[in-house]
Amino acid sequence: MSFLIIGAVLIAMVWPFERYESAPGRAESVGERIRIPDEDVDVFPSENGIRFVTAMGTRVNPLQSLMGWIDPYVDVLTCEQRFGDCDPQLNRELQLGAMSTAKEIAAYVALSRLGFDARLEEGPAQVAGFDQSLCPEDAPANRACRSLAVGDVVKSIEIIGDESESEVVKTDTLSQLAEVLTTAKPGDIARLVVTSLDSDDERTTEVELVADPEEGRTLIGFIARDTRTVDLPFEIEIDTDRIGGPSAGLSFTLALIDALSAGELTPEGGVAVTGTIADDGSVGAIGLLLQKAIAVRQSGVKYFIVPASQSEAEIDEARRVVGDDVEIIAVATLEEALRELERLGGSPITLDR
C-alpha cells in the first residue's frame, strides 16, 4: 500500500496540469534594494525601514494544487482565471513593465516631495487590456478587443469618417492619440499602425470607434498602460529582480523619501506597505490583500499600510486574519501615509542638503 501511495504522489507531482496559485509571499526591505550611484547625493540609511510585500503566483502541479485547496489562504486558479487571455508569458512581460513604471512614478513623487527638480515624460500608447463592457461575445471583428492585442503600441492613426478628411497622424505619445480622438465620432474607422510587444514589425489594422458608456467620449476601446518615464536630477536604481506589478509604488516612494532625508521615517521594527502611487500622490488599490497581510504577519512586522481604496470587506478580512499581531492602516494619499508614520513614532521629514 505504501508503494501505491508513493507512486500516486510522484505521479501527482509530474502529471501535466495547468493551475496557478495565489499565496502569501514575503515582506522585504526596500532600502536594501535602493542604490544612488551619485556620490554627491546625501543618502541616509534607515535602521528600521520600509518593506514592500509580495504574493506568490506560480504554476503548481496537482499535489501542490491539492495542498492549496486545503489551505484557506491560498487560491488555486485556472489559466483563464489567473491571466484572462491565458498567456502567462505576455502577462509576465506586462507585469514587469508595470513594475518599471511604478519605480519611475515613485521616484518622481518622492523627489518632488523633497523639493528636487523631477519631471514626468510621456510614453507611447500601449494596450494593457480591454473594457469588457465594450467587448461582448458578439463584438464585431473590427472592435478593438478583436483586432488589437495586449502589448500592442499604436504608432499612428488615420480617422476614416463621413465628415472628416483622412490624415495619418503619428502618435509617439498617449496624449497625441487622445487628441486625434477628440475630433472623431463613434462609428468612424480608425486605421492604426501598431507594433507588438515582442516585435518591432509594423502591421495595419482597422478599428471601429465606440462611445464611452459613461462620459460619451469617442474611444478606440482599449485600456492604456502607464508608459511614462521621469527625468531626475540624479540616477536612482531599485533592484526588483523579476518581481512584477505596480503595487509596490507607495513603498518605493516612502523608502526613497526615507533614504534622501535625515532622520528615521519609520518606527522601530519597520513598516510594511502596499499600494500603487499616482503622480499626484494618491494611493491606488492592489490585488491579493489577504495573502499580503498574512505575509506581513509571518514577517513579524507590526504595522501594515494599505490603500484606503480597497473594499471595506477586503480590509476587514485582512484585519481578521492578522488579528492583534498587525495593525492595518488604510491611507488614500502619500501625505496620509507620512502622517501615520509620524504617529507610529517615525521622525518628520528633515531635509539636510
Fold for the domain defined by 125-224: Pdz3 Domain (2.30.42)
Give the H or E element holding residue 12.
Answer: helix 2-14
Predicted confidence (pLDDT) at residue 277 exceeds the cutoff of 80:
yes
Q: Tens of pLDDT along 10-23?
A: 344 444 455 655 67
Tell me the angle at which helices 88-113 and 249-259 cross, rounded to the nearest 10 degrees: 40
Dig out the grid coordinates for 114 from the structure: 523633497
Residue 46 near residue 31 (C-beta atoms within 8 A): yes
pLDDT tens column, 145-168:
999 998 999 999 999 976 656 789
Residue 259 has pLDDT above 90, yes or no: yes
pTM for the model: 0.75
Res. 169: pLDDT tops 70: yes
SS3 119: strand
Q: Is the pLDDT of residue 96 over 70?
A: no
User: What's residue 154's pLDDT?
Assistant: 97
* pLDDT at residue 140 tops 60: yes
Extract the C-alpha cell encoding 12.
501527482
The confidence score (pLDDT) of residue 132 equals 79
pLDDT, tens only, 181-213:
999 999 999 999 999 977 889 999 999 999 988
Domains 22-117+234-343 and 125-224 share a fold: no
The DSSP annotation for 316-327 comes to: HHHHHHHGGG-E
User: Are 183 and 164 in contact, with CB atoms under 8 Å apart?
Assistant: yes
What cell numbers appear for 8 in the block?
Answer: 500516486
Structural element, H or E, at residue 2: helix 2-14
Give the gyration radius of the chain's Cα atoms. Answer: 23
For 211-256, what is each residue's pLDDT tens digit?
Answer: 988 878 999 999 898 888 899 999 999 998 777 778 899 999 999 9
pLDDT in tens, 23-63: 788 899 999 899 999 999 999 988 889 999 988 655 545 54
Residues of the chain with pLDDT > 90, as a percent, come to: 58
Give residue 8's pLDDT band: very low, low, confident or very high (50, 70, 90): very low
**pLDDT score of 94:** 62
* CA 334 to chain CA centroid, nearest Å: 17
Q: What is the pLDDT of the chain when averaged over all its residues?
A: 84
Q: What's the CATH fold of domain 22-117+234-343? A: Ribosomal Protein S5; domain 2 (3.30.230)
Q: Domain boundaries in the chain?
A: 22-117+234-343, 125-224
pLDDT at 192: 97
Q: 231-250 burial string, b = 16+ CB within 10 Å, else e?
A: ebeeebebebeebbbbbbbb
Which pLDDT score is estimated for 58?
58
User: What number of other Cβ atoms are within 10 A of residue 82's Cβ?
Assistant: 19
Higher confidence at residue 288 or residue 74?
288
Q: Above pLDDT 70, what percent of the chain? A: 80
What pLDDT sits at residue 226?
A: 84
Give the per-residue pLDDT at 339: 96
308 near 335, Cβ under 8 Å? no
Task: Give the whole-angstrom CA distance, residue 309 versus residue 307.
Answer: 5
